[in-house]
Amino acid sequence: MNLNAPLMLTNLAIPLLKAAPDPRIITVVSLGAIFPLGETPIYTASKYGLRGAMLSIALDLAPKGIRVSSVLPSATDTRMLRQEAIDGGNAFQFQDPPQAPETVARCMAGLLDKPRLEAYPKPSESWLVRAALLAPNLLPRVMPMFRGKGERGQAKYLRQLRERGLIDERGELVD
């Protein structure tokens, strides 16, 4: 789903985009496309694949006048992330408080005015990602340093969800 659906939709949209006056493709990928999360290899693989495919599509469509951009957000405060936190999911993604969906949307809208291949909603995170790209062999050594911070961040996030009334007394999400 993370890989196939965006690629199929992009393929279906290309004929329409060729006829558009200012055609754009903006895809939400994930910071997980660059920074692997050990506990989620399938998710990571799908996002790595999507990122690579969108970069390739961007190179292919640029001569046709179609601009392609990808947004690589970190953890975003969605129902899916809330459920993952409750279920004890990957604590690493809680290094910082999850961003609001509006932050990701603003980043996407910004690509309409200033198109580029990739954008990060939280610019402060892009340096860590770039470091992971430049020195992937360091990941096994640095990941343990971030685990404790992530676990504390996840616990804080869960407390905040309870305070916001989004988790009930049984520890389940409130719809």
With beta carbons less than 8 A apart as the criterion, state whether 72 and 31 touch. Answer: yes
Q: What pLDDT, on a 0 to 100 scale, did the predictor assign at position 29?
A: 94
Q: What pLDDT, on a 0 to 100 scale, did the predictor assign at position 139?
A: 80
Question: How far, CA to CA in Å, does 169 sit from each of 53, 68, 78, 165?
Answer: 43, 45, 20, 10
Q: What pLDDT, on a 0 to 100 scale, did the predictor assign at position 127?
A: 67
Q: What pLDDT, on a 0 to 100 scale, did the predictor assign at position 88?
A: 87
CA distance 16 to 107: 24
Q: What pLDDT, on a 0 to 100 scale, did the predictor assign at position 102?
A: 97
Q: What pLDDT, on a 0 to 100 scale, did the predictor assign at position 131?
A: 73
Q: What pLDDT, on a 0 to 100 scale, did the predictor assign at position 34?
A: 83
Helix/strand/coil for 165? coil
Q: Which amino acid is at 7?
A: L
Q: What is the number of other CB atoms lying within 10 angstroms of the CB of residue 169?
A: 6
Q: Which bin fits 26, alpha (ψ -120 to 50), beta or left (φ > 0)?
A: beta
Q: What pLDDT, on a 0 to 100 scale, did the predictor assign at position 146?
A: 79
- In 16-170, the DSSP E strands lie at 24-28, 67-71, 118-119
Q: What pLDDT, on a 0 to 100 scale, did the predictor assign at position 138?
A: 83
Q: What pLDDT, on a 0 to 100 scale, did the predictor assign at position 137?
A: 87
Residue whose entry in the numeric block shows the structure tokens 């947004």: 71
Structural domains in the chain? 4-163 (3.40.50.720)
CA distance 75 to 99: 6
- Which are the contacts of 55, defined by CB distance < 8 A and separation ≥ 6? 70, 117
pLDDT by 10-residue block (mean), the chain, 175 residues:
93 95 95 80 92 97 96 94 90 88 96 94 73 81 82 94 94 88
Q: What pLDDT, on a 0 to 100 scale, did the predictor assign at position 119?
A: 93
Q: Identify which of 84, 76, 103, 74 has the alpha carbon closest to the alpha carbon of residue 158.
A: 84
